[in-house]
Amino acid sequence: MYYTITLNPAIDRLLFLDQKMESRKTNRITNVDYDIGGKGTHGSYAMSKLGVDNVALGFMGELNSDAFQQIMDVKGITNQFTSIQGQKTRECYIVIDQVSTGTTMLTEKGFKVSKQDIDTFMDQLKKTVKKEDTVLIAGSLPEGFTINDLKRLVHLLKQIGCFIACDLSGDALKVAVDLGVDFIKPNEFEINDLNEDKEDLIPFLKGLNKTIQYIVVSMGKNGSYFLHNQQVFRVISPNVHEVNDTGAGDCFVGSFMAGLAKNFDLEETLRLASACAASKVMHNDSTTFDLDQVEQLKYQVQIQKY
């Protein structure tokens, strides 16, 4: 089974405007839509859409769990989130207008998890995940969930022996690297932060590839680098009209996992992930991509041995 873990999910409220948002002006909202925010859930969405069964795990607030579950139902995301009593899942406001590329996001900090919540979550994980499974840990850590808790989580998964994928930033990404997970997908900024001694990128990545089987460094419209078994590939993305790049990386990761799940070879997997992510940036929310578009875009992805 495939699992994703989103420790600090959100309910995204998409606010659509006809015109560019301005201060000192009434900005009229023309439409409101809801989406699940949280990198793991975005990965789950991509996998499900590509026909790969998976379960989204993590924490959710008890107080607005009905709203949270309703959006999960609409999005078709099977989930078993651990409920945090007396607290609510954070809400984020995403302003989307028809003029700008990119969006304005206003995000709440979210709930605080207790040691007890963390223990409950870890116990559930221990009972659920098996050696042959794959687990993606993605997104930020909620208040109360420390770097040491993340270490505990990765150690637990390593003990189980499952495949561990991580889409993390900053100190959390460092933990994933230090503990030698199986897959990471930093973007340009995240890899820069990790490369503290400012080594040349490719030798630095080859060093990481000694302990991490699969590495993707994503560079937005400039595509990505991919490393496996000390081989480096440069992946060139299709040239598309970008409307909103939020969630491109999440979509890439979910689709990459779907490719592995379908036993695609690595080239096919990279093609699929790059095409899904390119389709995603043509849509204005953080998750949507189009399977017909993906079929076309797949053939425009170029993969070169570096």
The answer to whether the CB of 230 falls within 8 A of the CB of 209 is: yes
Residue 234's nearest CA partner among 247, 218, 245 is 218
**180 vs 220 by CB, closer to Mg ion:** 220
> How long a stretch of residues is the chain?
306
Contact between 246 and ligand ATP by CB under 6 A: the answer reads yes
Instruction: Measure the CA–CA gap between 210 and 180, rounded to whole angstroms.
Output: 9
The one-letter amino acid at 33:
D
Report DSSP letters for 64-107, one per residue: THHHHHHHHHHHT--B-PEEETT---EEEEEEEESSSSS-EEEE
Provide the β-strand partners of residue 232: 227
Q: Of the candidates 55, 105, 156, 219, which one interacts with ligand ATP according to CB under 6 A?
A: 219
Contacts of 137 (CB under 8 A, 6+ apart): 4, 5, 7, 40, 150, 153, 154, 164, 165, 166, 167, 168, 176
Residue 284 binds: one of ligand ATP, Mg ion, none (C-beta under 5 to 8 A by kind): none
How far is the first Cα of the chain from the last one, in angstroms, to the nearest whole number? 33
Torsions phi, psi of 10, nearest 5?
-150, 160
The residue with its CB nearest to ligand ATP is: 249
Tell me if 278 contacts ligand ATP by CB under 6 A: yes
Q: Contact with Mg ion (CB under 5 A): which of 9, 249, 254, 259?
A: 249
Told to check if 36 binds ligand ATP by CB under 6 A, we report no
Question: Per CB under 6 A, which of residues 149..188 are in contact with ligand ATP?
Answer: 187
Q: Work out how close the CB of 114 gets to ligand ATP at its nearest, in angstroms, rounded to a whole number.
A: 28
Which stretch in 83-91, 115-123, 230-238, 242-250 sits in contact with Mg ion by CB under 5 A?
242-250
Work out whether 245 is an interface residue with ligand ATP (CB under 6 A): yes
Q: Which of 62, 193, 242, 290 binds ligand ATP (CB under 6 A)?
A: 242
Choice between 164 and 191, CB closer to Mg ion = 191
Cα 199 to the center of its chain, rounded Å: 26
Q: Which of 6, 82, 89, 218 binds ligand ATP (CB under 6 A)?
A: 218
For residue 92, state whether it binds ligand ATP (rule: CB under 6 A): no
63 part of the interface to ligand ATP, by CB under 6 A: no
Query: Does residue 220 touch ligand ATP according to CB under 6 A?
Result: yes
**Any contact of residue 240 with ligand ATP (CB under 6 A)?**
yes
Query: Which residue of the chain is nearest Mg ion when measured via CB?
Result: 249
Helices vs strands, H then E, count in the chain: 10, 14
| Number of residues binding to ligand ATP, judged by CB under 6 A | 22
Beta strands at 134-138 and 2-6: parallel, antiparallel or unpaired: parallel
**63 vs 219, beta carbon nearer Mg ion:** 219
- Give the number of other Cβ atoms within 10 Å of residue 240's Cβ: 17
Choose the stretch contacting ligand ATP; rule: CB under 6 A; options: 111-119, 142-150, 195-203, 212-220.
212-220
The residues binding ligand ATP (CB under 6 A) are 187, 218-221, 223-224, 237-238, 240, 242, 245-250, 252, 274, 277-278, 281
